[in-house]
Copies of this chain bind each other. A is one copy, B any other.
């Protein structure tokens, strides 16, 4: 059994990590760290875990030694913690944004703060199993992508890699409320969020930089908060460079993802669920990817959907760890999602 700690275990991503670790046959959660809830029961903050654990949250100081640390702490705070946890654990898996971007100048542009550990930026393997599976084997520093970034990269990368599209893409992201975390703020109030369509980032959403870095495209990304909890969806537009048909597109995606355990190609001619929808993915680690062709205008619309706490964060992190360890990739991630929900 691998012993694991979670920093920020009382948040939403932290809670999802708790759930996954408690259900994982080869992982043992030994240190759920939360400054604010230290010594309170884990199942008080995460009531879905009642009966599964009697653990209490612990402070950083009192955390037991462990083999892997999941960092689910806020952006800009995490870069200052790495040294501390590197002393206590061989493997660090970071779910914040602090080690996602390779260029500290880009980080500063998008996050409004100078990076305080730029020398570490290149040490982290991007937690993108579909592309970096080999690099993840044995990796000791893993940086998990942002939720909408992950969806957009999974949607666009096959097209970009195959040279089918031009060098720019627009990404319209839509995201549910758990993407903002468990901290209470006015934008997260139920009365404000219920039925909302809130364009909180009309241009330059932070995940734009990750998508650009991963795909090599110039990316324009907007983001809208909608009424949903865990869902995230991207609608990506790109101009086709060559005269491709629907079957060509389908083959490109199938070639890319046909063997992937957690990417499904969903692009049907008809039906209620013909394109990826996040709500059926809640709790699952799938990212569904699909597309539509506007042949007349030479444009492709790629759509991807995922659970922002799972394939968008905690689930993807566990998938990366499974790969690092050489375990079966689906281990602890078998839940397929619910319908209806």
Residues of A within 8 A of B (CB): 12, 15, 19, 23, 44, 46-52, 170, 172, 174, 176-178, 182, 184-199, 202-204, 218, 220, 222, 224, 226-231, 233, 235, 237, 264, 266, 271-273, 275-284, 286, 288, 291-294, 297, 299, 301, 303, 305, 334-341
Q: Is the CB of B195 within 8 A of A228?
A: yes
Q: Which 6 A-B pairs have the closest CB atoms?
A: A202-B292, A191-B340, A190-B193, A227-B227, A203-B294, A177-B190
Residues of B within 8 A of A293 (CB): 203
Q: How many copies of the polypeptide does the oligomer hold?
A: 4
**Cross-interface CB contact of A294 among B176, B220, B337, cutoff 8 Å:** B220
Report chain B residues within 8 Å CB of A291.
202
B235 contacts A222, C-beta separation under 8 Å:
yes
Who on chain B is nearest to A297 by CB?
A: B220
Q: How far is the CA of A209 from the CA of B293 in the complex (A)?
A: 18
- Choice from B203, B228, B303, B338 contacting A202 with Cβ under 8 Å: B303
Bound state CA distance, A197 and B235, in angstroms? 11
Chain B residues whose CB sits within 8 angstroms of the CB of A336 once the complex forms = 19, 23, 48-49, 51-52
- Which B residues lie within 8 Å of A51 (CB)? 264, 286, 336
A153 to B231, CA, bound (A): 30
Task: Return 13 A-B CB contacts under 8 Å, by A number.
Answer: A48-B339, A170-B170, A174-B224, A177-B189, A177-B194, A182-B186, A186-B272, A187-B272, A196-B279, A198-B275, A203-B297, A204-B294, A229-B340
| Residues in chain B near residue A52, CB distance under 8 A | 336
The complex places the Cα of A286 from the Cα of B43 at a distance, in Å, of 15
In the assembled complex, which residues on chain B have CB atoms less than 8 Å from the CB atom of A229? 190-191, 194-195, 340-341
Per a CB cutoff under 8 Å, which of B174, B189, B292 touches A182? B189
A101, B338: Cα distance in complex, Å: 31
